[in-house]
Amino acid sequence: MRMYDIINRKKMGQSLTREEIRFMIDGYTKGEIPDYQMSALMMAICFQGMDETETLELALAMRDSGDVLDLSQIDGRKVDKHSTGGVGDKTSLVLTPMIAALGIPVAKMSGRGLGHTGGTIDKLECFPGFSAELAKEQFFQNVNQVKMAIMGQTKELAPADKKLYALRDVTATVDQLSLIASSIMSKKLASGADIIVLDVKTGSGAFMKQEADAFALAEEMVRIGKNAGKKISAVITDMDQPLGNAVGNSLEVKEAILSLNGLGPADLMEVVYALGTELVLAAGKADSQEEAEEMLKQTIKNKTALDKFAEFIEAQGGEKRMVYQPELLPAASIQLPVTNTQAGYAAKIQAEEIGQASLLLGGGRTTKDSSIDLSVGILLNKKRGDFVRPGDTLATIYASSIDQAKEAYGKIVCAYQIQPDMPEKIPMIKGVVRPQAIHGGKAP
């Protein structure tokens, strides 16, 4: 078998076999196939697409390039949730303890953030002593006892995907649906959960800016999960403005704790309940969406989700008292209000601009080796649809440096679009993609 022939077949629009896909993934991971040949194949895929079988085989080949977590030592049907990323997305911090409080085991692998804010693990490290560096045996034990654990992704998890994504990133071959979907799903499949719910974001602060593209990606990923034997669904959610009010690691943790106390922002909780409902139904804990949502709401009302979050933090070495005393979490030394200059309604809040402002403050990473300031961020005092007067505070900047705060100020002002009329309401939940509603085909 030769890589030259594989490239030529795909260039001519032919479907690659399982053996050919395994050959090229194994060879590239081991360094036996050079970058220039893999780049040529990636470009051929961008032009010719991949069919349903090819896409599945690519995801499985990348999954099998490293460790595949065997969760059979954990009792029950294990669930996991994945987000395609957004600004202010602290959904996992709220959702996972709610699910665990219902007795559904959450076995989650998460990464660190690269971009405007930290990832889930960075946010959890706001609790002194918290560690996601768990041995597999400890991970299994924590899920069995606490019903939830979050472990850092290891280097051995889908190494082919890491190497291939780095190549695609510099060869303009990122934006092809089969390649995107197989990349994401290779890691989810390697994580071993039985049930997966995907939060696919769309809007100015999302990877998929257009709603149609988000639905297409969701269908492709759900198709892979179904064909790999997983119970899976995807919820398409709005990311045209930041989710919730807080952007920045410690601020987002505090907002998650507020949410677990029943004081969460409406948009954040709408997304949490939509995702949670899918997980509860898939786990067989409820017979209807209404019953599933009511069960989730009860975990907030009776504080079992809050207590579960504290139990989880303590089990992974963190100071659980901060769950009940969030004022002890990292806090920035400087607070600078961003004031409004005209009367009207907040019609748009460009999520990407807010994310860039957070990055300027030091709340995110520009490279994998960058350090993060966990205390900084932005609190949005006004959201889309709110009426604002001259002099009102649109947002509050939390910074460690006045120069950084002033630099972020301009970004935030530009992010807000004020208009005289009330803007049309944009739904948070665009739709849900389930396996029974999709059909086969070739991804463009």
User: CA 324, CA 409: separation in Å to the nearest integer?
Assistant: 32
User: CA 364, CA 248: separation in Å to the nearest integer?
Assistant: 8
**For 14, what's the count of Cα atoms within 13 Å in the CB-facing half-sphere?**
10
Q: Give the active site residue among 116, 123, 168, 231.
A: 168
Nearest partner of 337 among 247, 409, 242, judged by Cα: 409
User: CA 121, CA 149: separation in Å to the nearest integer?
Assistant: 11
Contact, 264 vs 244, CB < 8 A? yes
Contact, 177 vs 84, CB < 8 A? no
Which residue intervals of 147-207 are DSSP H helices? Answer: 159-169, 177-190
User: CA 380, CA 438: separation in Å to the nearest integer?
Assistant: 38
Q: How many helices and strands in the chain, by DSSP H and E?
A: 17, 15
Q: Give the active site residue among 78, 82, 163, 231.
A: 82
161 is catalytic: yes
Written as six digits, the tokens of 268 are 């954040």
187 is catalytic: yes
Q: Give the active site residue among 83, 92, 182, 183.
A: 183
Q: Give the active site residue among 122, 161, 199, 238.
A: 161
183 is catalytic: yes
Nearest partner of 329 among 337, 315, 319, 339, judged by Cα: 319
Q: Give the active site residue among 22, 90, 187, 230.
A: 187
User: CA 306, CA 165: separation in Å to the nearest integer?
Assistant: 37
Q: What are phi and psi of 298, to 5 degrees?
A: -65, -35
Written as six digits, the tokens of 124 are 């959890």
Element (H, E) at 309: helix 304-315
Active site residues: 82, 161, 168, 183, 187
